[in-house]
Amino acid sequence: MAHHLFALDENQLRQLVNARSTWRSFVDARNEAQQVRGSMAWKKVKEREYLVRKSASGAQKSLGPRGPGTEKMFEGFWRRKEEAQARLKAMRERLEEQRKLNRVYGVGRTPAVVVRVLAALQEADLADKFVVIGTHALYAYETAAGVHVESGVLATQDLDLLFDTRKRLAFAASLDRTGERSLIKVLQRADKSFRLRKERNENSTAVNDKGFEIDVVRRMAGPAADPHPLRMSDDEDDFWAVQIDQGDKLASGRKFEHLVVASTGEMALMRTVHPLEFIRLKLELAARKTRDAHKAPKDRAQAEVVQQLWDEYLQHMADRPQSGTPLI
């Protein structure tokens, strides 16, 4: 069954290209600035001065006594830091210009709350530990194709984030560097109204004041190295990741990354499942006898529209590596 796909006009496509270019430059500038986070200073210990590197989290490390080598290191660090901060400031200003143009030209329509959540995860260095699954993946596919799909297949008020349990140690380290105690605190950077709703004595869903929900899910627990139940942090009021039976296929399958744009013009990188994986899993869900009768038709419709996007617009991705390269 063919679905209506509405191609972006020339002005919209041109603006999307410009926005993506600016986003790439912004990401480069942000990565460069992250390399020189924290500070360096001289510290006097028993009549001698030592160069000390202080991380963003407050940890200190001595780099050696004062001398030609450490003085050169000190000067180079502060020069790079000043240059990186100036470039990042300039790129933030350019990004804001592109945000306004995105809104003027109507380039994007990803829900703003989704884009802000993705941006908050990226700022906290947590984005690569999660995969967006479900309906919202269609926003990444349609943006890559330069079209808008019919709105009926996109209607949803919840975002499912699949946590890769294989990265839980890296997740904990990144969360610690943010200065936040929990994942819910990171998501509240995107929308301060998010609150966890208790179900069966476990915090499994966050809801904001507009009724938008976020669930954190995971693959079914396997060996002892993959524990369950799994709370996302030591904070007793944080998410518990919920097991789903398709979790292993989703976590292990091919991935797809693309810039998405909100109706407000804001941008973020969405990491989701490959379109062909999405089609296969949606058809598998729809065929289950236990599937909710109200959800199965939507599963099939979404599989059909993504197949159409693949056939008509995304065939150039067929030879990309399985791990996926961001199309931003």
Q: Pick from 9, 7, 4, 307: which is nearest to 150 by CA?
A: 4
User: What is the model's pLDDT at position 309?
Assistant: 95
Contact between 207 and 157 under an 8 Å Cβ cutoff? The reply is: no
How sure is the predictor about 28, in pLDDT bands with cuts at 50, 70 and 90?
very high
Instruction: Name the residue with higher pLDDT: 201 or 327.
Output: 201
| Percent of the chain's residues with pLDDT above 90 | 66
- How many whole angstroms separate alpha carbon 320 and alpha carbon 312? 17
Q: Quick: pLDDT tens for 176-230.
A: 888 788 999 999 999 999 999 876 556 779 999 999 999 999 988 876 567 778 8
Residue 151 clears pLDDT 50, i.e. is over it = yes
User: What is the model's pLDDT at position 96?
Assistant: 96
Bond before 229 cis per omega within 30 degrees: yes
Counting every residue, how long is the chain?
A: 328
User: What is the model's pLDDT at position 56?
Assistant: 74
Mean pLDDT lowest among 155-159, 225-229, 302-306: 225-229
